[in-house]
Amino acid sequence: MAQGFTGKILRVNLTDGTTSVEELDPVLYRRYLGGGALATYFLLKEMPPGVDPLGPDNVLVFMCSILTGTPIPGFSRYTVAAKSPLTEGFAESEAGGFWGPELKWAGFDGIIIKGKSPKPVYLWIKDGECEIRDASHIWGKTTGEAEQIIRNELGDKRIRIAQTGPGGENLVRYACILNNVKHANGRTGLGAVMGSKNLRAVAVRGTQKLPLHDEEGVRNVTRWFAQNWRDNPRQVIMHNLGTSNGVLNMNAGGILPTKNFRTGTFEHADKISGQAMVDTILIEREGCYACPVRCKRVVDVKGEYDVDPYYGGPEYETIGSLGCLCCIGDLPAIAKGSELCNKYGIDTISTGVAIAFAMECYEEGLLTKEDTGGIDLRFGNADAMLAMIEQIAFRKGLGDILAEGVARAAEKIGKGAEKFAMHVKKQELPMHEPRGKKTLILAYAVSPTGADHMENPHDGDFASRSPAMERVAPLGFIEPVEAFDLSHRKVRQFVYLQKIWSLYNSLGVCTFVAAPVYTLTFEKLIEALEAATGWKTSLWELMKVAERADTMARCFNVREGFTRDDDTLPDRIFGPLEGGALEGVGVDRDVFQEMLSCYYGMVGWDPETGVPTKARLAELELDWIELPGVEVKA
C-alpha cells in the first residue's frame, strides 16, 4: 500500500488495559483525509452524546494526516480531538513538532483511546507495538522532567512524547498536550481529558518507512519549497520575527488585545514585538519537522526571571494573552510565563485570558486580596501573573476557580463578573480583535470549539489586490472585499476561508506555510497530496472534505444541545473599543444576526437554527449521523 497513510489505527482501552490494531478502509482516507475530519468521524461514530468529558466515556483521538511524516515542509501536524471539558462540546486542537511524523513512522495514522486507567500510565508505541506502562513515578512532574524520565527508562533519546502536565493531572479545564514540551495541542482542554483518564503521556518511536505513491514527486514539492520560500516576503518575516511579527502593526491599527479586550492599543507594544524579542532574549530559531521556516522561538533569560530554553519561547498568542491583555510589557516575564505554562501543560491563551479576567475583577472590586491570597492582582503586575499561573496549574486558591475557565469562574464569582469573561462557548478568546478584523465576528461565533486562534482572516489582505488575493483566486475571490464590509461578501470570504482552515487541519498542514499568505499554493498542496497517494484530486474535492469536517463538528455540538444562541460573542465585543485607532467601534447586534443567518445558509445549514439540513448531510455522505430530538429540515 503505497499511499502516504499506514492504513492502521491503534486502539487503546485504558480501563482494561488492552490494545488492538484496526485496518481502515482506504475509502475513509479519501473521504476524511485524516487529521480533524477523520478524528471527528470517529468521535461521532463512537461516542454517544451527553458523556462526561472528564469521565471514562470520553473518546480521545490522536490523528495524523496522510501527509504527516513526509519530508514536505509544513506537514508535521496532527490533531487531538475529544469532547471538551472546557466547552462541553466539540474539542479539536492541532500541533506541529515531531510527534506526528514519529507516529506515522511507527506504523500508525492515529490512536483512539477509551476508558480510564485505574492508575497513572503512559503509552509506549514502537514500530507497530504498544505497551501501557506505569506512570506513577512521573505523575506530578513537570513536562520536561517527565520527558527525560521516559526517554531514560526506555533508553532512547529520540523518543517523541506527547503529554500533558500537572495542569492536566489537576483537570485544569484548559490543560493542553505538548510534544517536545513546546509544540502544543493547546486549546479545548485536551490535556484535562488525558488527566481524567490517568494518561500522562504517549511516547512514540518509529523506524518504518512511510509508503509513498511517488517518492520523486514528494521530493519535488519538498525541493520546490526549499527553493522558493525565501521569495515570499511574509514567509521570510515569519522566519525572522516569528509569530509575533505583527504586534506593532496591530497596535497601530488599534487591534492589539489589551486590558482584557477593553482596548486595542498597548503603550508598551514595542517592548513585546517580534523585533524586540530578536533584539533581546532570542537565542535560536526552531522549526517543526522538515520545515526550514523555523518560526518557533527559543529564548534564554537570566536575571529577575530565569527562563529555561528547553521550553522554547513565547508565541504571539502567549505574548498577547500573558502580555498586552494583562497590560504587561515585560518580555522576560512573559517568557517566564510561557515556560511555566509549558512546564505545567496549560494553554497560554486561556491562562492569560483567565488572569486578565481576574485582574479586571480585582480592579473593579469583584475580587479582593483575600481572594487572591494577598496578591495585588492589578493589570500590569507581572509577578502577579506568574503567581496566578502556579495557582491555576495546581488549582490553589483563586487558581482553582480560574482553572475552570472564565465562564465558570464568572458564575462562581458572581456580582456581574460575566461581563469581564471573554469567551465564546466557554472557551477564552484568542489574541485577535473581531471589532477590527471583521471576519472574526463569524470565526469566533461559529467555531465549533469556541473562540479559536487558528482562523486568521487576513481581512486586510482581501481588501486590496494583494499577493494573498492573487493566491486565493482559485477559490473564486476575484474582487477585493473592503475590510469593514459586513455584507454577504464578507460572509462568503469567511465561509471559503473557514473551509481552507478545516482543510488544513485535515491535511495536517500549517497555516504559516500555506495559502492564502504563505508559500504553499493550493496547486502545490494538491501536487503534494497526489504524489503521496496516487490520487487525482482537486480543490473541489478537498473543499468538500472541509465542508464535511465543519458539518460533522457542527453535528457533534448539535447532539450536545448547542443552539444558535451559543453562536455569539462576548458582550464587550458588541460594545465600543476604548481608545486607539478604532476607538468607539463595536459590533452591531442586528448586523451580526444577519451575518449569522447568511453564514448558516451559505454552508447548507438551516438559516434559522444552524442545524445542518438533510440535503447537505446527504451531499457530504454524512446521512449516517443521528441527531435525535433535533428537527433536521429537508
Residues lying near a copy of itself in the complex (CB under 8 A) are found at: 27, 30-31, 470-471, 473-476, 478-479, 488-489, 491-492, 495, 521-523, 535-541, 543-544, 597-598, 600-602, 604, 607-608, 613-616, 618-619, 621, 623, 633-634
C-alpha–C-alpha distance, residues 369 and 381, integer Å: 14
Query: Which secondary-structure segment (H or E) carries 18?
Result: strand 18-23
> Residue 231 or 479: which CB sits closer to a copy of itself?
479
> Residue 260 or 502: which CB sits closer to a copy of itself?
502
CB 364, min distance to a copy of itself, A: 40
CB 232, min distance to a copy of itself, A: 15
> Residue 31 or 453: which CB sits closer to a copy of itself?
31
DSSP E strands in 72-142: the ranges are 78-83, 90-95, 110-114, 121-126, 129-134
> Residue 128 or 607: which CB sits closer to a copy of itself?
607
Residues 103/111, Cβ–Cβ less than 8 Å: yes
Of 72, 206, 64, 26, residue with least CA distance to 508: 64
Name the maximum alpha-carbon separation found in the chain. 65
CB 518, min distance to a copy of itself, A: 16
Burial class (CB in 10 A: 0-12, 13-18, 19+), 1: exposed
> Residue 240 or 521: which CB sits closer to a copy of itself?
521
> Residue 177 or 595: which CB sits closer to a copy of itself?
595
C-alpha–C-alpha distance, residues 112 and 192, integer Å: 16
Residues 177/81, Cβ–Cβ less than 8 Å: no
Of 483, 421, 484, 418, residue with least CA distance to 451: 421
C-alpha–C-alpha distance, residues 265 and 254, integer Å: 5
C-alpha–C-alpha distance, residues 596 and 334, integer Å: 36
Residues 28/41, Cβ–Cβ less than 8 Å: yes
C-alpha cell at 489: 461578501
CB 480, min distance to a copy of itself, A: 11
> Residue 225 or 600: which CB sits closer to a copy of itself?
600
CB 462, min distance to a copy of itself, A: 15
CB 487, min distance to a copy of itself, A: 8
> Residue 133 or 234: which CB sits closer to a copy of itself?
234
> Residue 427 or 519: which CB sits closer to a copy of itself?
519
CB 489, min distance to a copy of itself, A: 8
CB 428, min distance to a copy of itself, A: 30
> Residue 103 or 555: which CB sits closer to a copy of itself?
555
Of 436, 378, 422, residue with least CA distance to 582: 436
Query: Which secondary-structure segment (H or E) carries 298?
Result: strand 296-299
> Residue 208 or 521: which CB sits closer to a copy of itself?
521
Contacts of 280 (CB under 8 A, 6+ apart): 331, 332
As a residue count, the chain comes to 634
Distinct helix (H) and strand (E) counts, the chain:
26, 16
CB 528, min distance to a copy of itself, A: 15
CB 460, min distance to a copy of itself, A: 21
3-class secondary structure per residue, 255-293: CCCECCCCECCCCCHHHCCHHHHHHCCEEEEECCCCCCC
CB 546, min distance to a copy of itself, A: 10
